[in-house]
Structures are given as C-alpha cells and as structure tokens.
Amino acid sequence: MDVALFTLLPEEGLAIVLGTRDRDPFAGRPALFGGFLRPGSDGSATDAAHRLLAEKAGLADVFVEQLMTFSGPDRDPRGWSVSIAYYALVPFGRLAEARPGLAVWPVGRMPPLAFDHDRIAAAALARLGGKASYSTLPAFLLPKTFTLPELKAVYEAVLGTALNDSAFRRKVMEMRILEEVPEKRGATAGVRRPAQLWRLAADRLVEFDRTV
C-alpha cells in the first residue's frame, strides 16, 4: 500500500506531502506513506489507506481514493512486489495537525522518491488533472467553506490552466454542487464587501456527466 498525499500551498499551488524512509532500501529518501495491508483488521484497502495516513502522517478523516495497483519485479530492490496505491487530498490548514517532519514540495519540484514512488506520484497527478475536469475532486483541497475565487484557483492549480471567471461561475451553479453558507467572510470585521462563502452540497466526491 502507498498513499500519495497532496495539498494546496497558498502561494505555490499543488504540492505533495512526503514522509522519509526510516530504513533500507532507500533509507533517508522522501517517500509516499506506505505500509502493509492488514487483512482481517483492515476492513478494506481503503480503510488501510486511512490507517496509514493516521499512523504515518498523523492525519485522520482525509479524502482518499484508490489510484491503481502497481506490480512487478523492478519496483522494489528486494524482489517482485505489489502495491495498491491511493491518493489523498488535505487542505493546507490541516497540516498543522500532521506529524512533524513531513516535507511539502510543489509538484513541479518533487525530489527523487524511494521505490517507484515517482511513477505512482506522476500517475496520481495525471488522475487528479483528469478527474478535476468532471468532478468536485479539487474542492477536497480546500477548507470546508470557501469563496468562489478560491474554488476557481484550486481547479486552475489541479488542471494546470487558467479558467474564465464567468464561465466557471456559471458551470458551478448549473452543476448545483455548492450550497451557500449563512456567514460571510469579513462580515463581522467591518469589511466593505464581505465575501460569500460556500461549501460542497455533498460530503462525498460528485462526478458530472461527460459527453463525447
């Protein structure tokens, strides 16, 4: 099992959160959060991904989704191996709860990782970019409530392209993926134009219809 954890840096955009291998092979090398599945005590591989993030990153209740399973003779110098890989998304503010010592790297400047973790991280990034175009996935990088410009910025970070303001707002409203939050940001601080806050209408990932 390996979990690629991503966050959104306030300035530098999409970033990967890494641990450090504490033993050979690859001792001292940055790595995804990995460990063995425990059949019996883990309810499923998804439960195991949550357990690994809790144990190795100190983070509970993080969004996780299965990426794919990697296998073969070359991914671990100790021999033929299989790893069910997951990706996970955490809002930047929640990294304050994480275990100390984690490294956060903008995805464009990732260091070389242990095992085949570069390949897993690249596959996870491709999946994020693809799925951003037809789902609420990027919103799981934001706090529970956010402004529309913040939502647009996280879609832009994950898609890697600039989006048109009004087309984005129209699409989001058509999709009915958001609901208004009663409080506005800045409303109590006497700001002249407090910003409307939104949250996802559903707790779970929502995928949109796609057309040919």
* Shortest Cβ 193–a copy of itself spacing (Å): 26
* Shortest Cβ 132–a copy of itself spacing (Å): 7
* Cβ proximity to a copy of itself, 78 vs 193, nearer residue: 78
In the numeric block, the tokens 């275990």 are attached to 99
Residue of 80, 106, 165, 201 that binds a copy of itself (CB under 8 A): 80
Residue of 15, 18, 53, 84 that binds a copy of itself (CB under 8 A): 84
Binding residues among 86-125 for a copy of itself as defined by CB under 8 A: none
Four-point Cα dihedral 119, 124, 128, 131, nearest 10: 100
Angle at 137 between CA 155 and CA 178, to 5 degrees: 80
Tokens of 31: 């790595």
Q: Specify the stretch interacting with a copy of itself by CB under 8 A; choose among 4-12, 38-46, 113-121, 195-203.
A: 38-46
d(CA 109, CA 163): 24
Residue of 106, 130, 143, 186 that binds a copy of itself (CB under 8 A): 130
Instruction: Give 150-154's long-range contacts (Cβ < 8 A, gap of 24+).
Output: 151/178, 151/198, 154/8
**Residues at the contact surface with a copy of itself, assessed by CB under 8 A:** 37, 39-40, 42-46, 66, 68-69, 71-73, 80-82, 84, 130, 132-134, 155, 159, 163, 168, 171, 207, 210-212
